[in-house]
Structure 1
Amino acid sequence: MTGLAVLALADARFPGGGHVHSGGVEEAAARGLLTDVPSLREFLHGRLRGAGAVQAVFAAAAAHAAHRAVPRGHWAVLDAELDARTPSPAQRAASRAQGRGTVRSGTVAWPSAALDDLIAATPRPHHPIVLGVLAATAGAAPREAALTAGYLAISGPSSAGVRLLGLDPMAVNAVVADFAADIAGIADTAASTAGADPADLPAPGSPALDLLAESHDRHHQEEVRLFAS
């Protein structure tokens, strides 16, 4: 059932709330930075190497911790370290909103003591940490949790590109498939550091995404937007 659980977590139909987040695509499109499939490809590449890599690292670390029944305080530390690696308040809010939605579905599908401890330590945990705990509860290894996080980092934004720009979905799906080796490499790196002290986990930055997220948040308060982030 491990493979099925990982597929379910990566499925756009999983009721975790990911469909309302564009990962910066909406703001980039509004600014004219995204207009076609090649520009979306470049955007997804940067997103995967920045925010996607961080998400994969923390999903793997959470899965590693869930397999080892760590003290409850560890979850608060892990969550705080991801907070520190997310400079944008808008991105932090989006991650916690998606995490909360995933918790609601996860407690029904994959209840566990680790998930209970995580929620007790931080009632609104970041999405990658929830993802890692759920994957581990279903029997997945840290690398599988990281693969799922890496894929989600670009699959949602790619779908947003289709909806916002009217791009050819076949061409966009081909772009996502072409990132398979990149996602695998990020998952390998994440798995290799999964057992590290949370303070020592990698912290690749993506300042352009931070700026887009903050701009989107301001505009979302002034006008109707299709996506929450």
Structure 2
Amino acid sequence: MTTVDATALASLLVLADGRFPAGGHAHSGGAEAAVAAGRIRDAADLEEFCRGRLHTAGLTAAALAAAAAAGADPLLLDEAADARTPSPALRATARRLGRQLMRAARAAWPSPALDALAAARPRGAHQPVVLGVTARAAGLGAGAAAYAAGYEAIGGPATAVVRLLGLDPFEATGVLARLAPELDAVASRAAVAGERVVEEGADVLPAASAPLLDVMAEVHGGWAVRLFAS
């Protein structure tokens, strides 16, 4: 299992806290479109949705974050994130979230690396890349960054479905608890891949795909009325 340096654990808690003002509360991670399509109707459906998201988009995001935290070139990682995000709607969302996270990160952990990335990507870099650079600025390593990105991949939809369906918050939390062992496995795999990027280049990053998430994101982006931005 991937380990997290106990001396930096408090920073990880701050970074992964849902109250950290990174803009994630405005996004459902595809859950709103899935609810509207009847694919999420209860806690069991939510669990399957989050499991699928964790092992696809979540794995890719976690590896990107891990690579950035390990010191890989964030601009190259941003290009790799573009290549792994076929949906224009999801690319726009990732950059919007990256821009918001950057604002919060620079206030919390001022860093020349964050300043340089903000200057190079004024419209926002992909959120997992910003997350990884933020983790590095906070003294966290690849494993911690992978955990933060992986947890976000499932925590966002779980929180959103509580609002979308009126799902019992205790049931949503139970879903996250049951997925914890799988999050461990995904974070470990992502951390190893992220650390390899430093020596071997971005081609070793996973490119796990979830075509239905891409399709639903494009449909959701065209809605005139929606509760979440994505």
- The separation in 2 between residues aligned to 1:135 and 1:75, in whole angstroms, is 13
Alignment match, 1:165: 165
- The separation in 1 between residues aligned to 2:215 and 2:118, in whole angstroms, is 30
Q: Is the 8 A contact 1:57 1:146 kept in 2?
A: yes
In the TM superposition, what is the alpha-carbon distance from 1:189 to its structure 2 partner?
A: 0.9
Alignment match, 1:109: 108
Q: Is the 8 A contact 1:64 1:141 kept in 2?
A: yes
In the TM superposition, what is the alpha-carbon distance from 1:216 to its structure 2 partner?
A: 0.3
Amino acid at match of 2:163: R
Alignment match, 2:17: 11
After TM superposition, the structure 1 stretch with the greater mean CA deviation from structure 2, 148-157 or 110-119, is: 110-119
Q: How does 1:60-71 map to 2 (within 5 A)?
A: 60-65=66-71
Normalising by the residue count of structure 1, what TM-score does the alignment of the two structures yield?
A: 0.92
Alignment match, 1:210: 214
In the TM superposition, what is the alpha-carbon distance from 1:180 to its structure 2 partner?
A: 1.1
Following TM superposition, where does structure 1 have runs of at least 4 consecutive aligned residues deviating by more than 3 angstroms? none
Q: Does 1:55 align with 2:56?
A: no
- The separation in 2 between residues aligned to 1:189 and 1:122, in whole angstroms, is 28
- 1:132-153 CA-to-partner distances (Å, cap 9, x unmatched) read 1111111111011000100000
- The separation in 1 between residues aligned to 2:14 and 2:177, in whole angstroms, is 18
- The separation in 2 between residues aligned to 1:129 and 1:76, in whole angstroms, is 9
Amino acid at match of 2:106: T
In the TM superposition, what is the alpha-carbon distance from 1:64 to its structure 2 partner?
A: 0.5
Amino acid at match of 2:207: A
Q: Is the 8 A contact 1:75 1:121 kept in 2?
A: no
Q: Is the 8 A contact 1:75 1:117 kept in 2?
A: no
Give the total of aligned pairs.
Answer: 219
- Could you say what the CA RMSD is over the residues aligned between the two structures, in angstroms? 1.1
- The separation in 2 between residues aligned to 1:75 and 1:171, in whole angstroms, is 37
Amino acid at match of 2:152: L
- The separation in 1 between residues aligned to 2:220 and 2:226, in whole angstroms, is 9
- The separation in 2 between residues aligned to 1:121 and 1:62, in whole angstroms, is 15
In the TM superposition, what is the alpha-carbon distance from 1:117 to its structure 2 partner?
A: 2.1
Amino acid at match of 2:189: T
Q: Is the 8 A contact 2:74 2:133 kept in 1?
A: no
Alignment match, 2:4: none
- 1:193-227 CA-to-partner distances (Å, cap 9, x unmatched) read 123211321110110100111110011xx2x2110
Alignment match, 1:184: 184
Alignment match, 2:204: 200
Amino acid at match of 2:43: V
- Identity, in percent, stands at 49
Q: How does 1:14-53 map to 2 (within 5 A)?
A: 14-53=20-59
In the TM superposition, what is the alpha-carbon distance from 1:122 to its structure 2 partner?
A: 2.1
Alignment match, 1:226: 227
- The separation in 2 between residues aligned to 1:100 and 1:174, in whole angstroms, is 31
- The separation in 2 between residues aligned to 1:134 and 1:207, in whole angstroms, is 29
Q: Is the 8 A contact 2:57 2:208 kept in 1?
A: yes
Where structure 1 has 5 or more consecutive residues not aligned to the other structure, the ranges are none
